[in-house]
Structure 1
Amino acid sequence: MRRKSGHPVVQPGRVPGKANAGKKMKVIVLGGGVVGITSAWYLAKAGHEVTVIDREEGPALETSFANAGEVSFGYCGPWAAPGIPMKAIKWVMMEHAPLILKLKIDTRMISWLFKMLRNCTAARYAINKSRMLRIADYSRESFAQIREETGIQYDQGMKGTLQLFRTQAQLDASAKDVKALKADGIPCELLDPEACIAVEPALAHVRDRIVGGLQTPLDETGDCFKFTNELARLCEEKGVTFRWGEEIQKILTRGGRASGVVTNKGTIRADAVVVSLGSYSPDIVKPLGIDLPVYPVKGYSLTIPITDPARAPESTIMDETYKIAITRLGDRIRVGGMAEISGFNDRLDKKRRRTLEHSVMDLFPGGDPKQASFWTGLRPMTPDGTPVIGGTQIPGLFLNTGHGTLGWTMSCGSGRVLADIVSGKTPDIDATDLSIERYA
């Protein structure tokens, strides 16, 4: 997983070890979600003067607010996979479809979908999954270091993820994922129904509905909103400045370099700018000639109070049939999933709520869905599933965005890699294929 010596990482827009190495800089981070805050944390640790700007009034109030709650270092793969085009056609007729496509006249949507389809081959799937596992495994180590260093609390659990198969075909298809996980040194184990029940005792009530599962024991759970807010507080203790409630209007350049940001409240100068604006990242960099293939893929979640702990999950279960994660967060169950491609649309759809309720109540009827809070968020997805982390053609302008459904999982590792690149250091993992240059 680690980069071998003698192979320097070259990022667009900088010369490793020269331009920024050892230099304390003024760095602006655009975006106050979990990826922006982890970027700010590591940049501050590197000794930089950091300012975070976001239009919301506090941290993690958009896509990071109520995600599925799983930190899935093992259950980590691109949506663009062999067979997805045919499955998508079948899903159109399903009442509880995991993928919903609402086509419209939108050149960005069509372009993104075409690029995604190009990645639905076995060869590209293997490359993309390996990249994602690399950054996710590094993020696992980084999460552990933050916990050890700070004692941060966020309803965390360390009991792993169980990918639950309702059909033999799903169990058979898991072989390619097992192969990829083992190739990257990530522990996993195929379980029969009885072993699944041993891991998640509440499944004993639905023994007849499962044929097996794939457990990734190093996966974690937690409340992303709580984590992000607590880390933001710790960032403030390190001197990070937060400018909440500011509309970001444009990135400034001087002499061909990024030199600051204009907001509705004025101009802020800087030596470097980091874009972590999720689905809105392409709009802010487009005027600079950067074509960033990130598009919003809408997800939904329910947060349900637990009324019967004996019929609630212990950790995270991924219901493979509906691609829905069911996670224990203290005295709550977080149910999240689905991928709706419908543009910048944040309307709450009652049909999606019914799908979430169907999945969780079918397996874990230990909560009261009538008391649940219903939420939706726009997840920033790249066509290959891998986030975009690194420099750009504009010196001093960096990207840390496009994490899709795995922003929470990859956040700490991504922030750490990004901070190294901005600082002119070689990251601990190979980051050459994480930058926007891979789309050139």
Structure 2
Amino acid sequence: MRVIVLGSGVIGVTTAYYLARAGHEVTVLDRQAGPALETSYANAGEVSPGYSAPWAAPGLMLKAAKWMLMKHSPLVVRPKLDPAMWSWCLKLLANANEASYQLNKGRMVRVAEYSRDCLKALRAETGITYDERTQGTLQVFRTQKQMDAAGYDMAVLERYGVPYSLFDRDGLTSVEPALAHVKDKLVGALHLPGDETGDCFQFTAKLAAYAAKRGVEFRYGVSIRGLESDGRKITGVLTDEGTLTADSYIVAMGSYSPKLVKPLGIDLPVYPVKGYSLTLPITDAAHAPESTVMDETHKIAVTRLGDRIRVGGTAELTGFDLTLREKRRGPLDHVVSDLFPKGGDLSKAEFWTGLRPNTPDGTPILGPTHVRNLYLNTGHGTLGWTMSAGSARVLADLVSGRQTDIDMEGLSVERYGRKPAVTVSRPAAVRPA
């Protein structure tokens, strides 16, 4: 079967890899000059299934109000006359209750845990390296109230069999020794040993090269204008290089996915949430993180990537504005210098920003649509790197007419009210993976 994948970020490239592995003829289209040059370029570096949780949690309104009053605020809202922004915000608030939080977190953990297993298998099969580490995530708490609130997450982790440990301020240094120098600023931490870290850009670029050698065609510098349809199925992708056709089409364009599919009657509640990161060289390894440290107060992750430290986080609602605002560097500078003051050289840091494609319930949108040969792989928010391999494997299985390894309940666009079409597969055109 011929398949076109729209987008060459980590989601698009992993999807192409699994499709090719299943025997399909795959073409990937992207406007950029290479893979992973937008949101996948310099994210926080976490592969963190244990930390998978929706933003829409009980008490969200009060938390948001407090965050925006903080000196180093993790959240900034720049109001716009944009109906999509306000619709998304209202849906986010509608999910900020205990029942929805438990349901949504369960769905997210299901995808993320599966994805971590797929990533391990992919790494073993391809042999690619990307400054990966498998030492877990340490979520550090600066107040007792934060530590007590971790009970919400631990209940879901236990339900899904995700290992974790809770440490006091002395115990957390057994996981991250460098924090011994600042432990008086912390009250405790939640350790998620199954989490990993790695450079998403390196991974995506190397996987794209691996896939290309195995037949995947990557066409860069191609602007996607729209999707052509006969009312029942997609008949082609309209680009600045003409109309390209295939048997099936997969939209993996992150925050730009809703605009592409809206003319087809598909209303995706995916909205960009802008994030920032710093990448700085390590100056003293003994004072740098061993893996990922997540600061619960500032919602910022500090991650070890080889001989570098990646600091990623903050959330800015500002539409598709990619302006690199120097003021938003403040929270990143503060957290890394506060927790790891001797770890890296901030004067040599690379400052970056990207748009995370967030759904209001936190769960990505995976699978078929009411358009017979159109599939979605989008809406992963801050967890695109975490969920990439599993989401891609699911899409490849669906396109191939195979049973998925995980339950698809609540993962498709169907949860927003419109049922997808019955998938028409062509098993004769694929071979077992």
- Mapping of residues 4-43 of structure 1, within 5 Å: 25-43=1-19
Q: 1:181 aligns with which of 157, 161, 164?
A: 157
- CA RMSD for the aligned pairs? 0.8
> Moved runs in structure 1, 4+ residues, more than 6 A?
none
What corresponds to 1:401 in structure 2?
378
Shift of 1:109: 0.2
- Mapping of residues 14-413 of structure 1, within 5 Å: 25-254=1-230, 256-365=232-341, 366-413=343-390
What corresponds to 1:19 in structure 2?
none
Structure 1 residue identity aligned to 2:146: Q
**1:55·1:244 contact (CA, 8 Å) conserved in 2?**
yes
Normalised by the length of structure 2, the TM-score is 0.95
Shift of 1:74: 0.4
Equivalent position SS for 1:191: strand
Shift of 1:260: 2.0
Q: 1:436 aligns with which of 395, 413, 417?
A: 413
CA distance in 2 between partners of 1:115 and 1:337 (Å): 22
Equivalent position SS for 2:352: strand
What corresponds to 1:425 in structure 2?
402
What corresponds to 1:416 in structure 2?
393
**1:28·1:260 contact (CA, 8 Å) conserved in 2?**
no
Shift of 1:259: 2.2
Equivalent position SS for 2:170: helix
**1:259·1:396 contact (CA, 8 Å) conserved in 2?**
no
**1:282·1:292 contact (CA, 8 Å) conserved in 2?**
yes
Shift of 1:391: 0.4
Structure 2 residue identity aligned to 1:42: Y
**What percentage of aligned pairs have identical amino acids?**
61
Question: What does the per-residue CA deviation read over 1:132-189, in whole Å, with 9 as the maximum and x for residues that have no partner?
Answer: 0000000011001001111110000000000000110110010111111111110011
Structure 2 residue identity aligned to 1:177: D
CA distance in 2 between partners of 1:86 and 1:36 (Å): 36
What corresponds to 1:20 in structure 2?
none
Shift of 1:255: 5.7
CA distance in 1 between partners of 2:127 and 2:320 (Å): 37
- Once the two structures are overlaid, the 10-residue window that deviates more, 294-303 or 424-433, is 424-433
CA distance in 1 between partners of 2:191 and 2:18 (Å): 31
CA distance in 2 between partners of 1:143 and 1:188 (Å): 20
What corresponds to 2:424 in structure 1?
none
Equivalent position SS for 2:182: helix
5+ long unaligned stretches in structure 1: 1-24
Equivalent position SS for 1:380: strand
Shift of 1:423: 1.2
**2:10·2:36 contact (CA, 8 Å) conserved in 1?**
yes
Structure 2 residue identity aligned to 1:243: R
Question: What does the per-residue CA deviation read over 1:262-284, in whole Å, with 9 as the maximum and x for residues that have no partner?
Answer: 10011111111100000000011
**2:68·2:74 contact (CA, 8 Å) conserved in 1?**
no
Structure 2 residue identity aligned to 1:277: M
Equivalent position SS for 1:92: helix
CA distance in 2 between partners of 1:91 and 1:351 (Å): 16
Shift of 1:361: 0.4
Equivalent position SS for 2:337: helix
CA distance in 2 between partners of 1:396 and 1:259 (Å): 9
Structure 2 residue identity aligned to 1:408: W
CA distance in 2 between partners of 1:297 and 1:423 (Å): 33
**1:81·1:122 contact (CA, 8 Å) conserved in 2?**
yes
Question: What does the per-residue CA deviation read over 1:224-272, in whole Å, with 9 as the maximum and x for residues that have no partner?
Answer: 0000001001111220001100000111223621122110011111111
What corresponds to 2:429 in structure 1?
none
Structure 2 residue identity aligned to 1:297: V
Equivalent position SS for 2:303: strand
